[in-house]
Amino acid sequence: MTATAPSDVRPDPPEGPGSADSAGLAHFGYRQELHRSLGRYASFAAGFSFISVLTTVFQFFAFGYSFGGARFFWTWPAVLIGQLLVAACFAELAARYPISGAVYQWSTRLSNRVFGWYAGWIMVLGQIVVVAAAALALQVVLPAVWSGFQLIGTDTSPVSSDGAANAAVLGIALLVLTTAVNLLDNRVMSLVNRIGVTAEIIGAALIIVLLLTHADRAPSVTVHSGGGGPALLVGSFAAAYVMIGFDSAGEMSEETRAPRRVAPRTILSALTAAGVLASLLVLAALLAAPSLTDGRLGTEGLSYVLTSRLGDGPGRALLCDVAVAVAVATLAIQTSATRMLFSMARDEALPFSRTLSRVSPRTGQPPAPALAVGVLSAALLLLSFSSPEAWLAIGTTCIVMLYLAYAMVTGPLLLRRLRGGLPTGTDESGNPLFTLGRWGIPINILALLYGLAMTINLAWPRAAVYDPSGGHWYFQWFTLLFLLGALLLGAAWRAVRTRAARRVPAAAAP
């Protein structure tokens, strides 16, 4: 396969029900290889399951509360508003560029190939880290359901040595399962995703209602109890980690029917639904918690609230639903990372591009990227055996990588607006493409500023956060070191690739 410019057109797409969508893809220089079988709900599920309210709220609630107290509730609506600004920009781009590898493709077409490549490189590495972080969430849930899931030691806390090691074991087992599903037909993956998202939404709503019926305090506690500004900045990590990945609805555009019409709406609806449910879940937990001062809410989190308030039976049943949500979230995130690898490899923008860009005609899935993401994520989980601080380092690093990649889209998008704006057109129904109209520039400016500010907040090397026990300077600086290493590795590969490309014409010369 040879690299083509974005305007080049490859062979004509096949005829059939999705031929119009395939023809739209051919306009961007690609032929239809992935199976186009996803509808509106499947597209919504792709974005919602990446966010995965139950997975991420259960995983990071204790951390956020331990720093911000009850006031950390307000970080949730604040982050939701900030991310909705970003999502609104992404919705416009999903309507105009319905291509797998969304962030990479969008950044490339708004700026240039080099800048877009770095956006895609940072994004795909961040997604791989998110897969590992999501798989670690099983440790917050399964040992609370049944003690037999604690295979290593006795301390179930993910920030203890026993808990961190056990989290790695459970996470690797989950990655074996999700990788197997990602090697099957995408209709199987979509079915699992839709069932899991439906169960998660029902479970989240049920948990909220049950906790509110056991509330012992008024919502005013979120104003009068908790830390101040610096503590809330750290507490916002929880909300920042939850509300990422909504761009996955755009990531699956090449497998979605009528993507120009469907993807923009599902990007916004997935984030809105997840953000509202997450905020209500946090509020309900704060109002129903047996105590805000006994220390257990900052160590055991929502699992403690469920089992203590609803009893072991109902509490564990709901935790089983949370475990399903964790598994489906890991599957969805791995699928998203797989599509990013495939999209970049299709442009010969990665090592081993020929292998990574190959799609199975039978399943409509790219098998090599699925295996690569699974293996690399499992390798990251091995860090948990070295130190429990790795849990937080992995979680924060993945958020920073994604926020930075998002800013590498909203930044060029703002420049494009100032220079003349986005292309216009119609969707598959003949309606005008989704647009922010006159609100585009102010929303874009706020989205970029929010993204950069949150990236700095998350990456700031706070010793009290990343190395509380001391003696592990590399964990305190892990996020910045990982980002620097990623950039250097990417620059080195591009330099080698450029030199190799220059030698080919020289060798061919008479």
Tokens of 155: 């301390």
The whole-angstrom separation of Cα 387 and Cα 396 is 15
β-bridge mates for residue 38, sequence order = 256
Q: For residue 491, how far is the Cα from the chain centroid?
A: 24
Task: Quick: pLDDT tens for 32-78.
Answer: 999 998 999 999 999 999 998 988 898 889 888 988 899 999 999 99
The whole-angstrom separation of Cα 116 and Cα 101 is 11
For residue 152, the one-letter residue type is I
Task: Quick: pLDDT tens for 314-330.
Answer: 888 888 998 999 999 99
Task: Quick: pLDDT tens for 262-296.
Answer: 999 999 999 999 999 999 999 999 999 999 988 88
pLDDT score for 6: 42
Task: Quick: pLDDT tens for 430-465.
Answer: 999 999 999 999 999 999 999 999 999 999 888 877
pLDDT score for 505: 52
The whole-angstrom separation of Cα 3 and Cα 9 is 11
The whole-angstrom separation of Cα 334 and Cα 68 is 31
Q: Is residue 498's pLDDT more than 90?
A: no
Rg (CA), the chain: 22
- pTM comes to 0.90
Write the CA distances from 361 to 179, 274, 301, 396, integer angstroms. 18, 34, 45, 38
Q: Is residue 406's pLDDT more than 50?
A: yes
pLDDT score for 16: 43
**What are φ and ψ of residue 245, in 5° steps?**
95, 0
pLDDT above 70 covers a percentage of the chain that reads: 94
Nearest to 398 by CA among 56, 67, 86, 163: 56
Most confident range, picked from 308-322, 399-413, 473-487: 399-413
